[in-house]
Amino acid sequence: MTARWLLCLAAACSGGAPQIRAKPTPVHLDITAGKDANQGGTFYVVVRKIDQAGFLAEDYDAIADRLFAAPPDPAVLRKAIVRPGAALTVDADRDLAEGEILGVYFLFSVPGDAWRLAIADRNIHRVRIVLGAAGIVSAEQQ
């Protein structure tokens, strides 16, 4: 039997067309780093999936340790280098389980209070982020 025939048979037996799960649209992070970001040195942005409680509980050192973990942390979806005075776009897939959110972390050498943000709304497709010397100056979720 061919695969197409089996698919038709399965659809007929189930009473309808086979359901194909649509892949979630990625989130586009438009990041602009000020010239003074991270005291002029390069640093990382990390995007990972995590539950809300974990996002609130994890500290900076735990995130930094996961960046270069061996084996790699499967929750890390993307990492990229941020250069002060430059702009970049980071696209992150959003194949999240129920209750998971996206955590976006900026690993400044000396982080201020605003070094991370959460994207909990699944309808958000773009976030425009402006970075200052030691943290996020603004984040507009669209």
Q: Which of 140, 118, 141, 138 is nearest to 33 (CA)?
A: 138
Domains of the chain (ranges, CATH numbers): 26-141 (2.60.40.4150)
- pLDDT at 8 (0 to 100): 44
Burial of residue 111 (number of CB atoms within 10 Å: 0-12, 13-18, 19+): middle
- pLDDT at 17 (0 to 100): 53
> Which residues partner with 50 through β-bridges?
101
CA 134/CA 137 separation, integer angstroms: 9
pTM confidence score: 0.83
What pLDDT tens digit does each residue of the chain (142 aa) get? Answer: 444 443 444 444 455 555 565 677 899 999 999 999 999 999 999 999 999 999 999 999 999 988 888 999 999 999 999 999 999 999 998 889 999 999 999 999 999 999 999 999 989 999 999 999 999 999 999 9
